[in-house]
Chains A and B, each alone.
Chain A
Amino acid sequence: MNEIDPSRQTPFGMDFSVAEFADNPEPRCPCMLLLDNSWSMNGAPIAELNEGLAVFKEELLADSLAAKRVEIAIVSFGPVQVVNSFQTAEHFTPPRLTAQKDTPMGLAITQGIELLDQRKALYREQGIPFFRPWVFLITDGTPTDDWKTAALEVRKGEESRAFAFFAVGVEGANLDILQQISIRQPLRLRGLRFRELFQWLSNSMRSVSRSVPGTEVPLKNPTGPEGWATV
């Protein structure tokens, strides 16, 4: 058979390249952040959290694929507010959260899940493939509203594989309740390592957003000696 001789073969090869490509949107990897901005977060915690969000965007942008695929939304609670609706990392503007009032975590969770459902409906309508969404909750307190309904919804969502739910407690958080909400073991943030937390989150999102069928998504253990969390 003929060897690959570019000068001979290229004319044929070029003809194949007349093919025109379909223009499909990139598959999306939604990430819903539920962030506690109750008064107790005042001072260094909220400042570090804001810093972490900026890092999150920065790190995602460093990966051209993740920049186009990872979509971020933020619901803050204290009070509940949709701070960012879903946007790709490219277009995401990290907010400056301020510490305000109480900790309506239950409502934040149900509202976050609702936003996620709407987003998924839109993906389906538009024929956009997507990865399993992550819901990532960060709090330093105890819910001040009905959290049991929310816990039920989290359980339902996990069972139907509608999303993966993660909970992180900053110092002062009620881990007992987080444990009842999240199927996965809630993690305790080490000090105020928000920066490391968001680096880890962006790395995880990068892995998920480029995974193909049959791939293991490598997740770094955040509770290692250098990690940002303890159990």
Chain B
Amino acid sequence: MTETGDWRYVYASVPGVAHLAGGIDCQDACAIRLVAEPERGPVLMLVAADGAGSAARSGIGAELACRTFLMECAARVLDSTAPEWARGDAEALLDSVRTALLRRAAEENRPVREFACTLLGAVVAADRALLLQIGDGAIVIDAGEHYRPVFWPQTGEYANETRFVTDSDAIARMESAVLTEPVTDIALLSDGLQPLALHYRSQQAHTPFFQPLFQHLREHPEPGRLEGLMPALARFLASPAINQRTHDDKTLVLATRRPVPPPEAEAEVEPPESARPATPSGALKPDIDTLPEPAATEPLEAPRPVAPVAPEPDTGLATAQPTAADGSLGADSGADAAHRPHSVNSDLPDRDRDGDEAV
């Protein structure tokens, strides 16, 4: 085992077409941090957060949530006196994220719901893992030949409802798990990718979505953060093929420590030609069939603000940083939105009773 624990990882958050059209920044954020823990070997910490649709500062909330999660994780992990992981650890992590958001809201003198976001978090050590989730999106891990979501996305009764870190009952509603088996592949994804990566009816992960992605990571010669693949992942997430299927922001975090493929596969050091014809039938092909082989032309659609990927080492949050996200969106005031910031339809009748609108 190397000091990276043979982990190979990439992550990216990109704005959805709905946000691009509305001139809104990406409200997803994500990050990975690898910590060398002397006694237990390297520990990988992964996090993703999805800012609430119309909450004015939710992009900032998502980024702050990710940053805080990683900081708190590192503090706990490096505390080698810590006993076995338990739900209490997950609760403490969520609590510190909530505290950070509340503090930030107080500093800015804004209601905390404007910073509302979901949270997916994972801490993976050599032989155990701690996972937690509040809201939608999914954490997917390997399960034999297949992949499985550790928790099912927390949607409300309706498609436009979910839970947020900022909900008053978030800690009670949070799902958590402590696994005592080694996790070798792990993905975190925001709800923008849910319809592509999960089967709603069977409540399973769509293995053909994950397999090639992890395979691609494994084929990379060096372990660690795969800098070369980070922009490629962002472009994949912003590709027309994905945008045709989802209009929301999209986050994907991928990490694998499964052994690299056997030597004969290793011999071919990532020639693009070798991978492309392997596209299985029914798989997503490059969206322009006439794409020249080395892709002299940009195959993606018109220029888009791809999220700045990995701007800084280690804790670099992959998010389009909204600097002035308020104002344009800040009109959703009113007490009715305060008690149920996430339930859209439910706001309607309440507001009606308040007499703001006749219907």
Contact = CB atoms under 8 A, between A and B. Distances in A.
A214 B200 contact: no
Contacts of B341: 214
B3 to A, nearest CB: 21
Contact of B294 (A10, A24, A128): A10
B115 to A, nearest CB: 11
Contact of A12 (B200, B229, B282): B229
A10 B272 CA distance: 9
A131 B158 contact: yes
A185 B291 CA distance: 58
A18 B200 contact: no
A211 B343 CA distance: 10
Interface in A46-92: 65
A208 interface: yes
B294 A19 contact: no
A131 B294 contact: no
Given A4-B306, A9-B231, A10-B299, A211 B200 contact: no
Nearest to A13: B232
Interface in B196-248: 196-203, 206, 208-210, 212-213, 216, 227-233, 235-236, 239, 241, 245, 247-248
Nearest to B242: A21
B296 interface: yes
B53 A211 contact: yes
B53 A213 contact: yes
B52 A214 contact: yes
Contacts of A212: 18, 53, 160, 191, 248
A225 interface: no
B349 A214 contact: no
Interface size class of A (residues with CB under 8 A): 35 or more
A37 to B, nearest CB: 23
B233 A208 contact: no
Contacts of A128: 200
Contact of A21 (B158, B162, B209, B344): B209
A170 B265 CA distance: 73
Interface residues of B, number: 89
Contacts of A223: 358-359
Nearest to B281: A20
A141 B7 CA distance: 71
A212 B247 CA distance: 10
Interface string A1-35: 11010110111111111111110110100000000
B216 A16 contact: yes
Contacts of B337: 216
A6 B195 CA distance: 28
Interface stretch (A97-105, A144-152, A158-166): A158-166
Nearest to A220: B357
Contacts of B156: 213
Nearest to A160: B157
Contacts of A184: 349, 352-353, 359
Interface of B: 18, 51-55, 58, 116, 118, 135-136, 155-162, 164, 191, 195-203, 206, 208-210, 212-213, 216, 227-233, 235-236, 239, 241, 245, 247-248, 270, 272, 275-276, 278-280, 282-287, 291, 294-299, 306, 310, 332, 337, 341-349, 352-353, 357-359
13 contacts: A1-B230, A7-B296, A14-B286, A15-B232, A15-B275, A16-B212, A16-B233, A18-B275, A20-B208, A126-B201, A185-B352, A214-B341, A216-B332
